[in-house]
Amino acid sequence: MPEPVLRAAGLARSYASPAGPLSVLNEVSLEVRAGESVSVRGSSGSGKTTLLQILGGLDLPDAGKVEVLLPGRGLCPPRMALGRGVGFVFQNYQLMPELSALENVALAGRITGVPSDEADRHACELLGQVGLAARADHLPSKLSGGECQRVALARALVNHPTVLLADEPTGNLDERTAEEVMSLMLGVVATLGTALVLVTHSREFAERASRRYVLSGGALSPA
Ligand SMILES: Nc1ncnc2c1ncn2[C@@H]1O[C@H](COP(=O)(O)OP(=O)(O)OP(=O)(O)O)[C@@H](O)[C@H]1O
Ligand SMILES: [Mg+2]
């Protein structure tokens, strides 16, 4: 059986609110192995983004533990793996508006210490893989939503993450473009062997993952 690339156990998270603590996650545990894709559905406000942010080290749980596989280092806290072991794709792309598609992807490589020429070469290669070789010089404002999300996918993969965390990656796209981006994402992660945790409201896309969960009442249940 492939090794786990992501291991979360006993996660709890609540937020302060005027009415008292708002408990969002209780006892969430999840293990994802290399090459697996896992989908998480759940109603708005159920805590999906909170969970992904904790899995990726953008937020800390009140209780519980997360570990992510960092090649050469073994299982590490996700904050250590940020930008390397973990890649993120967000609903609203979050590209740097003043940088071209190529620069957006290459910058993510350079900030982890990869030399510029190597980062540029790898960024070019990834833009080719997502079908955007001809748009490498375009600013995000000169790209369609689907193209922006392809750039964001290339950026998320530039540092060879062991796990890709995608938060409603097709939420801003029309049906046909959403299908194209989802097929591309599933195909690319399968080719690279990257594990995927996909948060989506789409039952159809969720079904395409190898394991499926619903987040409700602060807990994950198999769908
Ligand atoms: N920083 C915060 N402070 C206080 N409450 C928060 C904070 N972030 C999220 N929440 C609350 O926590 C709950 C879960 O939010 P979260 O964004 O994780 O939901 P979600 O499942 O991703 O929803 P959606 O499907 O709409 O994206 C919501 O009720 C939200 O209002
Ligand atoms: Mg959300």
Q: Tokens for 45?
A: 């406000």
Kindly state whether residue 22 falls inside one of the protein's structural domains: no
The label of the residue with tokens 């993120």 reads: 88
pLDDT in tens, 75-85: 999 888 767 88
Task: Write down the pTM of the prediction.
Answer: 0.95
Whether 158 and 109 have beta carbons less than 8 Å apart is answered as yes
* Structural domain total, the chain: 1
Please report the pLDDT score of residue 83 as a whole number. Answer: 74
Kindly state whether residue 71 falls inside one of the protein's structural domains: no
Nearest to 93 by CA among 37, 177, 33, 161: 177
Ligand 1 atom 25 nearest Cα: 44
Kindly state whether residue 25 falls inside one of the protein's structural domains: no
Kindly state whether residue 94 falls inside one of the protein's structural domains: yes
Ligand 1 atom 3 nearest Cα: 15
Between strands 37-41 and 195-199, the pairing is parallel
Kindly state whether residue 48 falls inside one of the protein's structural domains: yes
Kindly state whether residue 122 falls inside one of the protein's structural domains: yes
Whether 205 and 198 have beta carbons less than 8 Å apart is answered as yes
Kindly state whether residue 152 falls inside one of the protein's structural domains: yes
Structural domain that includes position 55: 34-61+78-222
Please report the pLDDT score of residue 135 as a whole number. Answer: 97
Whether 40 and 14 have beta carbons less than 8 Å apart is answered as no
Q: Which of 11, 23, 46, 55 to mutate to test the pocket of ligand 1 (most atoms within 8 A of CB)?
A: 46
Ligand 1 atom 17 nearest Cα: 49
| CATH code of residue 179 | 3.40.50.300
Nearest to 14 by CA among 79, 59, 57, 55: 59
Q: Is 202 in the pocket of ligand 1 (CB under 6 A)?
A: no
Confidence of residue 2 (pLDDT cuts 50, 70, 90): confident
Q: How many angstroms is it from 111 CA to the middle of ligand 1?
A: 29
Ligand 1 atom 30 nearest Cα: 45
Residues in the chain: 223
pLDDT in tens, 169-206: 999 999 999 999 999 999 989 999 999 999 999 999 99
Q: Is 49 in the pocket of ligand 1 (CB under 6 A)?
A: yes
Q: Which of 17, 49, 54, 167 to mutate to test the pocket of ligand 1 (most atoms within 8 A of CB)?
A: 49
Share of the chain above pLDDT 90, in %: 91
Kindly state whether residue 67 falls inside one of the protein's structural domains: no
pLDDT in tens, 101-143: 999 999 999 998 999 999 999 999 999 999 999 999 999 999 9
147-176 burial, b at 16+ Cβ within 10 Å, e below that, comes to: bbbbbbbbbbbbbebbbbbbbbbbebbeee
Write down the mean pLDDT value for the chain: 94
Q: How many angstroms is it from 90 CA to the middle of ligand 2?
A: 9
Ligand 1 atom 7 nearest Cα: 15
Q: Tokens for 46?
A: 């159920």
